[in-house]
Structure 1
Amino acid sequence: MNATPDTTFRLRYLPPPTIARFMASRALYRGLMGPVGSGKSSACCVELMAKALAQTPDKNGLRRTRFAVVRNTYRELKDTTLKTWLDWFPEERCGPFAHTDMAHRLSLELSDGSTLEAEVLFRALDKPQDLKKLLSLELTGAWVNEARELPLTLIEALGDRVERFPSSREGGCSWAGVIMDTNPPDTDHWWHRLAEEARPEGWDFFSQPGGLMEQDGRFLPNPQAENLENLPRNFYKRRMAGKSPRHVRIYYCGRYGFAQDGLPVYPEFDEARHLSTAPLEPVDGLPLYVGLDFGLTPAAALAQRLPDGRWLFLDELVSQNMGMLRFAALLNDLLHSRYANLTPVIWGDPAGMARAQTDERTPYDILRASGLPARPTHTNDPVLRRETTAAALSRTVDGAPGLLLSPSCRTLARGMAGAWRYRRLLVSGEDRYTDEPEKNRFSHVCEAAQYLLVGAGEDRMLLAPEGKGKIRQARALNGRGKE
């Protein structure tokens, strides 16, 4: 497109309160989180232009800047990010977009006689090895669109490339930084860690109000929602129909949560119901049940069963590429430091009875030698283990959930929320999934919780006769009739 830029281009933008605070921040890294439709992407487009206009002119009257606009894939970059940018700064007004190198070079005459010359480079950076794409860039600033999809290493690398154009001999940058926007990630994400826990100097995070708010299990319009004047009437309420509560909480309420892909092993799990907002304290006088999963990534889940039958999962111990001897030492330390006054009852995977080829000791031999009297459960049936856990999740005792996780069980909670899943198969037609759950860093502690419940006898409740002498039937695991 060979359009001649219009000599007059007026832009009016009135930021909502949260976005106004975001724009006023002087932090090197700034993050904006909110629900869909809250105006995050538009705000970042306007913010880049505002910083380009605020650049001090050089001796030739040129306000020169260079920005990188980053998304995780080129398809999403073209379909969403670039489209939003060109909606705000169309080619017929601001100059042609170069599709060959994915760059928009703007040259606008300003009312004060100076000239804005801004170069906006659109790039996909979805893998750590893509860092090499940044090595030669000299930038004024950068915008990371949907930052939850990118690793922190890339965000930090972008921060190392800004404040380099214009160079100091050309007058330097009037502003430099990395701005980010995103829908809410999960609580195990680097965004949550930096925004809610570490809060490092030089980083500023802003959270917009949700379009909906949850009250007593109902989702209602939020009177504090932003950007409603630019959305269709009842935008959020009309779109929540048929959506899972998890989807509504993340994308419409603007709350942290795990956006699952694939079929969760535990569709019965509901963060609002099964995840405590406050740490759970152990109850004196009750045994402490410990469930173990072995292999090269051993894991442990710790829980107590209350007299009314409810389960409180108090803690977890997860590992990566760790031998059983070292893991046993860590488990011993955990039990003695936090639960010294409780009697542990330890159950584990029956497969742990197999002897290692190196020293012919089983994981149970190593545990007993470490002072941990662990025993194998009577079964390793995956259907029975899943159904036993699902039954506890589905149970209600005097209005309280039959299974409750402490916030310290972060990996277990995320696994139950859908990170432990049946992987979606890449086939045409209706959705199909693998027959067995995916092995990942969440599966081990989830299986440890299963061994805990089976070892404690919860499976006997599942198989107990119901009604007129009938045996409870296990449900299909993955929607394909397989058990």
Structure 2
Amino acid sequence: MSAEKPLSRAEVASLCGCKVQDIPNNPLFSLTHYEPAGPVCAAYIRSCGPIDAITGPSGSGKTVGTVFKLIRFCVAYMPATKPSEKHPFGLVKVRVTVLRDNYRALYRTTLRSWFQWFPPDYQGSAFFGGQDRPARHELRLSTVREVDGVRREVPVDITVDFFAVGDVAIEELLKGYETSCGWCNEGDLLAPRVITFLYDRTGRFPSRQELPEGVKLPRMVAVDFNPPPPKHPLWKACTRGSFQEEEADDPLEAALQATAKKIEGQKKTLNFFHQPSGLSPNAENRRGKSFDDYQRAAAVMTEDDKRRFVDGLPGYARDGKPVYAREFNRSKHIAGGPLAILPGVPLDIGFDQGLSPAAIFSQTSSLGQVRVLRELWLGHGVGYQRFLEALIPLLTGPFRGLPPGNFTADPAGFYGADKVVGELAWAEAISAGLGHPIYPAPTNEPSARWEAVRLKLRIDIDVTTPGLMIDPCCEMLIEGFEAEYKFPKFKEGAPKAYGDQVVDNDHHNVHDALQYDILGRFGRAGVINEAAKAGRPGSVIPFRTNREGHKPGDFNVWNT
């Protein structure tokens, strides 16, 4: 233990802005009998990085679960040092680093949660700290390890350093610093680079000289946070599974690189765990926060705060309202991993034409579920030839051998060419390049297109099968569902809060393509029919008859 004088309970209470009696005398949770808040929290605790992030509604047990995750990592995964006279079976030495955005929040929230597990005068421990400066908690625990075939008790020395990043550059704070693992509390309040820089400092303590030969140190950073706006870098990194972004001077080249990575698969370095809504039957930490608690909170919150702190969803973009705000649910409509391509099931494609063209690739399962497998959007100023260059590798790669289904495009894509001199309209040029017909959607009326998608979001096949499932690689489509495919917000004092037409931004092209895909699959009459039969048995719309009879040989691109 340090020679520095530990703080008294009264001194700790003063730093934490509370009364002495508010600091627990004994742990409120048991290290040996702790039960995670729910299955999502349990999976987060079991995960071993590299970076594990959890989000959910307020009061869902994220912070408490993170403390247990860190201690579990220390006693279960950290190796023991070489045997010594004092420690004949070795000693587990660990340094844990906790980061928060400022010292006031660190002492008044993070440490208050920490003390629920380890009060400042926890047996065999000492707590050090001070006003507007780092804190440190030195703990002595024990674990059981097998030594020469015999289970032995091995001491565990844990030093927990608590820092606030604040205005200090992360390099200045942690340069030369060595730690075992880390925790970024309320990670959305930290710059994303703080999280990755902290990970770089893990796996460095204790020194390799203290460990048996050949033993490698594990490393991990845990992040907990409430859902931020969908454009927040941490949220985008979580949905992407990595903090790395595409880097290319040419935006079109960057888009092609991104498409190639989605085809080949990219190793995730960030594991994302998203807890259900507090109003959901599957809500976690019901012992800590009841359904009634969430209902009362929702009744007084703004719609945006309700989404974040009750539903556990990303907040709205401040300049608009998502078109599918009521129907889309990330935990329900986004697959937990890559969607399997169904062998022998026709591949449908929806196209949106123009100088920012897009395509959506999907299949319909035997149950009637629309499964969105890929998106293709290359940016602005893309002609049909460049679009085909990116489109055809998808058809001859992951989708090779699938029979073609309905290829449907914006009706506007069939006009504008000078037929007298033999020009082809956009949709006709793409059709010629693929060697397969593309048909115009039955309508491009926005309300009809929106309703087609809303029905697939709203109507479930059964209790476990949503009508629409999206592969997590479809980042533009997902960002649009969560925030960016939106109605514009008017200034205060306007007759209406939001406009009637969607914002013309980068996300509307892939969403238009999805709408044409669904309309091409079911037709306008089919969408109306499905709406009429919603919730009744037999509400699944059968495949259109022209899907039958397709053979792989009907489409020459697949036959290369």
Whether TM-score is above 0.5 comes out as yes
Aligned 1:55-204 pairs, distance under 5 A: 69-70=98-99, 74=101, 78-79=104-105, 83-86=109-112, 88=114, 94=127, 97-99=130-132, 103-106=133-136, 119-123=161-165, 136=175, 138-140=177-179, 141-147=181-187, 154-162=194-202, 177-182=219-224, 190=238, 193=241
Unpaired stretches in structure 2, ≥5 consecutive residues: 13-24, 82-92, 141-156, 243-264, 418-422, 533-560
Asked if structure 1 preserves the Cα contact closer than 8 Å seen for 2:456 and 2:468, the reply is no
Aligned 1:24-423 pairs, distance under 5 A: 29=50, 31=52, 33=54, 36-42=58-64, 44=66, 69-70=98-99, 74=101, 78-79=104-105, 83-86=109-112, 88=114, 94=127, 97-99=130-132, 103-106=133-136, 119-123=161-165, 136=175, 138-140=177-179, 141-147=181-187, 154-162=194-202, 177-182=219-224, 190=238, 193=241, 219=281, 228=287, 231=288, 235-240=290-295, 259-262=314-317, 263-267=321-325, 269-271=327-329, 279=340, 281=342, 289-294=348-353, 297-303=356-362, 312-321=370-379, 324-335=384-395, 337-338=399-400, 340-348=402-410, 350=412, 353=415, 363-364=426-427, 366-370=429-433, 371-374=435-438, 377=441, 380-390=444-454, 393=457, 403-405=467-469, 407=471, 410-411=474-475, 414=478, 417-422=481-486
Partners of 1:400 and 1:413 lie apart in 2 by 23
Asked if structure 2 preserves the Cα contact closer than 8 Å seen for 1:51 and 1:175, the reply is no
- TM-score, with length taken from structure 2: 0.52
Equivalent in 517, 526, 529 of residue 452 of structure 1: 517
Q: List per-residue Cα deviations over 1:14-58 (Å, max 9, x = no partner).
A: 2324599999989574636475435442455688799999999xx
What is the CA RMSD across the aligned residues, in angstroms?
Answer: 6.3
**Residues 146 and 290 (structure 1), Cα distance of their counterparts in 2 relative to 1, 3 Å cut:** same
Unpaired stretches in structure 1, ≥5 consecutive residues: 57-63, 468-483
Partners of 1:23 and 1:346 lie apart in 2 by 41
Asked if structure 1 preserves the Cα contact closer than 8 Å seen for 2:375 and 2:477, the reply is no
Partners of 1:109 and 1:190 lie apart in 2 by 32
The Cα shift of 1:446 comes to 1.4
Q: List per-residue Cα deviations over 1:341-400 (Å, max 9, x = no partner).
A: 335433236268568xxxx98633641441354455576443443244335655689999
Counterpart of 1:14, as a letter, is S
The Cα shift of 1:275 comes to 6.5
Counterpart of 1:104, as a letter, is P
Partners of 2:48 and 2:129 lie apart in 1 by 32
Give the secondary structure class of the aligned counterpart of 1:259: coil
Partners of 1:369 and 1:267 lie apart in 2 by 38
The Cα shift of 1:457 comes to 7.7
Asked if structure 2 preserves the Cα contact closer than 8 Å seen for 1:289 and 1:344, the reply is yes
The Cα shift of 1:327 comes to 2.6
Alignment match, 2:555: none
Asked if structure 1 preserves the Cα contact closer than 8 Å seen for 2:182 and 2:221, the reply is yes
The Cα shift of 1:67 comes to 6.3
Asked if structure 1 preserves the Cα contact closer than 8 Å seen for 2:60 and 2:278, the reply is no
Partners of 1:220 and 1:25 lie apart in 2 by 19
Partners of 2:466 and 2:372 lie apart in 1 by 14
**Residues 133 and 95 (structure 1), Cα distance of their counterparts in 2 relative to 1, 3 Å cut:** closer
**Residues 213 and 399 (structure 1), Cα distance of their counterparts in 2 relative to 1, 3 Å cut:** closer
Counterpart of 2:512, as a letter, is E
Partners of 2:130 and 2:174 lie apart in 1 by 24
- TM-score, with length taken from structure 1: 0.58
Range that drifts further, 20-29 or 439-448? 20-29
**Residues 142 and 96 (structure 1), Cα distance of their counterparts in 2 relative to 1, 3 Å cut:** same
Partners of 1:408 and 1:150 lie apart in 2 by 25
Counterpart of 2:200, as a letter, is D
Asked if structure 2 preserves the Cα contact closer than 8 Å seen for 1:30 and 1:178, the reply is yes
Using the aligned pairs only, state the percent identity: 19
Alignment match, 2:7: 5
Partners of 1:283 and 1:204 lie apart in 2 by 34
Q: List per-residue Cα deviations over 1:228-272 (Å, max 9, x = no partner).
A: 3xx36xx2443146599x99999789xxx8535243212463557
